[in-house]
Amino acid sequence: MDEGNSKYGAGKRGNLDNISKRKKIQLGEVVSVDDPQGLGRIKVRIKGSVNKGGDDNTLDADLPWAFPMLPKFYSAKPKIKEAVLIFVFSTQQAHADRLYLGPIISQPQLLKSDPYYNSALAGFTFGSQSPNVSYKTIPEVKGVFPNEEDVSIQGRDNTDVILKNNEILIRAGKFVTSVPSKTNPFSFKFNAATQGYIQIKNDTVVKRGDDNNPDEKGTIANIVASKINLITHKNGSPIFNVTNQDNLISDDEMLRILEEAHPLPFGDVLLQYLRLLKDAFINHVHNGNGNKPTDLTASGNKQSLDTFKKNAEDLENQMNSKNIRIN
């Protein structure tokens, strides 16, 4: 396209509405994503006259289907009004079979929706507007999006999967909404309070070494969330519905799990409790004939039963996790 018609040349905005010649690759606006046959096809409108490969004066219902170029192992269907690239098999049959690649998203903060006539084409010289401010310049947004050297799959809204060097992250709730300000023009910032994620790291230190032994390395898996549920399908008590066909675990069932599933005990606190109980049981002796029971602890002044009584209630209150549930 002539730089004279570019937003980067001569100070003018670009224009894709006029197609000068037939091309095998076009830009189009999505007008329908409902494929009754479930093939993943969409309908896309290309600006320009029909004899030049465009769809002017063609009804939406009469537009040809565009088949996805990405294999169905990976699904990312565009939304209505978003931009896609359209490929035709022949410029002489531009209104027959089409292929599409997209959606075109100009910047990561617009993953939820980036309309064709808004900012989707901002990265191109022929786009109608310049890109928005870069998220890289906003300290409050640091950590929301993957590093450029990582391999990642980003969801439309608040989730992603990130493949780092010797590490994989699965995240939900990576940002929270916020009021735009002078320092952060976006309506979100990094979630430092309730972000949920699964992190698996390899070749990381699992035990510190000393002067005679090197650090021991291995793999570490971290599960971080406000609440964690470890639920089984069968033989659990109670049994929960975790195979809902719409969302696996419904919101109501999730609340039921939080209310009715068993709290996971802390092993070290439980062990401390059992040791005190064992000590009190073994060393507490009933002497018979109406004599007072005695304590046979080796120290001579340690009263095992009194120690257990003193600490039992406090340990019982500490013993169960408030945030991890099991069945």
The domain that holds 50 is classified in CATH as 2.40.50.230
In a domain, 324, yes or no: yes
Report which residue type is found at 67: F
Does 161 share its domain with 212? Answer: yes
- Those residues whose C-beta lies under 8 Å from the C-beta of residue 308, and which sit 6 or more positions away, are 276, 277, 279, 280
Whether 46 and 29 map to the same domain: the answer is yes
Q: What is the pLDDT along the chain (327 residues), one digit of tens a residue?
A: 344 445 544 444 455 544 446 678 999 999 999 999 999 999 999 999 888 889 999 999 999 999 999 999 988 999 999 999 999 988 777 778 899 999 999 999 999 999 998 899 999 988 888 999 999 999 999 999 999 999 999 999 999 999 999 999 999 999 999 999 999 999 999 999 999 999 999 999 999 999 999 999 999 999 999 999 999 998 889 999 999 999 999 999 999 999 999 999 999 999 999 998 888 877 766 666 665 656 655 544 456 778 888 899 999 999 999 999 999
Task: Identify the domain containing residue 327 by its residue range.
Answer: 228-327
Q: How many domains does the chain have?
A: 3
7 in a domain, yes or no? yes
Q: What is the Cα–Cα distance from 89 to 77, expressed in whole angstroms?
A: 21
Q: Is the pTM of this model over 0.75?
A: yes
Residue 120 covered by a domain: no
Give the residues across from 282 on adjacent strands. Answer: none
Residues 104, 7: one domain? yes
Residues 15 and 106 in one domain: yes
The answer as to whether 161 is a domain residue is yes
With tokens 């910032």, the residue in question is: 189
